[in-house]
Amino acid sequence: MRIAINGMGRIGRLLFRRLLHHPGVELVAVNDIMPMENLAYLVKYDSVYGTFPEPVNMEGDIIVAAGQSIKAFRADHPSQLPWKELGVDVVLECSGSFSNHAAATEHLKAGAKKVLLSTTGSADIPLLIYGFNHSAVTAGTHIISPGGCMTNCSVHVLYILNAIGIKSAQLNILHSYTSRQELVDAPHKQFRRGRAAAESIIPVEIDLHQSLEKLMPGMQNRIAAVSTRIPVANGAMADFTVQLNEAVSVHQINTLFKKAAQGEYKGILDYTEEPLVSLDIKGNTHSCLIDGTLTSVVGQQVKLIAWFDNEYGFTSRMIDWLDYWKKIL
């Protein structure tokens, strides 16, 4: 499978690193408007995941990394990219700028066979979460949204709890700061996002409930969600407060998730009773890691905590998508 990455931000660069040695795929090209020397530098040196252990250099318009040669482009629109000539099977659309159907289709017009977004995307793109409803994809599906890191964490938790029956769910995703926030106070259409990200705990508006209701139509008008950005560069903790249809025990809830982690959801969801902090989740490949030590119950109300690496866990699901898509291309 021949892969190209459009947009070399946090997710694009992490995918670049991880796909270099991933079996069955060949990374053939990347595209980003930043200067190529800067791109090579940011691939090699990463403040979260450390220095890439193999050489990374620019040779003209080629990035040579780990002994592999990858074409590098600086086009501002997919129509300018030679996906057909390069025989690109899948474009990983990581720029965030081509996340509706019409825009993503530009990659197909340029010659790519498939497009996998790195975000939730618009309503006219199928929302298919790996490990939840990915089997709904068909050979005729050419553009997919794999959701976002918060959706990939939350949908599994709510679906499993809904086996008992959910009356309502309140979600607070304590999330590391992102590039859509400011380093120092600055103007922003969402005033709080304009405040210095490393200096405050900052609540921000998110549309997570809309994605979850789309995936679980029976939960319509029963989910509310907010993200609280915290002054760390990586890692997230999802805080679920769920009102169930019946009284339960901590043991019952933890057993439910422990069995899920060992069975149907193995590799997607995990369970722990170790006393973790957010730094411990860095590099974890799961979409969510249930912390059984923090489960609490008051009657029919359950408090559940799940950790996830918002970058590594999410890119793991994108790579799962590539492996799955290979079978039906």
327 and 139 in contact (C-beta within 8 Å)?
no
Strands 143-144, 114-117: pairing is parallel
**Greater model confidence, 327 or 118:** 118
pLDDT at 40 over 80: yes
* pLDDT above 90: percentage of residues in the chain: 95
Angle made by CA atoms 221, 222, 224, in degrees to the nearest 5? 95
pLDDT at 29 over 70: yes
Average pLDDT value for residue range 5-18: 97
- Average of per-residue pLDDT values in the chain: 96
- In the chain the domains, ranked by start, together with CATH numbers, are 2-125 (3.40.50.720), 149-310 (3.30.360.10)
Average pLDDT value for residue range 275-293: 97
Amino acid at 25: V
pLDDT (tens digit, 9 = 90+) per residue, 47-57?
Answer: 999 999 999 99
pLDDT at 311 over 70: yes
* Per-residue pLDDT, 139: 82
Q: What is the spatial distance between Cα 130 and Cα 323, in angstroms, rounded to a whole number? A: 11
* pTM summary value: 0.95
* Per-residue pLDDT, 55: 94
Q: In degrees to the nearest 10, what's the CA dihedral of 89, 93, 98, 104? A: 20
Alpha carbon 58 to its chain centroid, in Å, reads 28
* Per-residue pLDDT, 327: 83
* Per-residue pLDDT, 165: 97
pLDDT (tens digit, 9 = 90+) per residue, 299-310?
Answer: 999 999 999 999
Tokens of 204: 């921000």
pLDDT at 328 over 90: no
* Per-residue pLDDT, 187: 96
pLDDT at 326 over 90: no
Average pLDDT value for residue range 232-243: 97
Question: CB 235: neighbour CB atoms within 10 A?
Answer: 25
Strands 62-65, 202-204: pairing is unpaired
* Per-residue pLDDT, 244: 98
Average pLDDT value for residue range 123-139: 92
Q: What is the spatial distance between Cα 281 and Cα 16, in angstroms, rounded to a whole number? A: 21
Closest CA to 130 of 153, 107, 97, 113: 153
pLDDT (tens digit, 9 = 90+) per residue, 176-228?
Answer: 999 889 999 999 999 999 999 999 999 999 999 999 999 999 999 999 999 99
Average pLDDT value for residue range 32-39: 95
pLDDT at 329 over 70: no
Catalytic site includes residue 149:
yes
116 and 108 in contact (C-beta within 8 Å)?
no
pLDDT at 72 over 90: yes
Active-site annotation holder among 94, 149, 153, 288: 149
The CA radius of gyration of the chain, in Å to the nearest whole number, is 20
Q: What is the spatial distance between Cα 16 and Cα 174, in angstroms, rounded to a whole number? A: 27
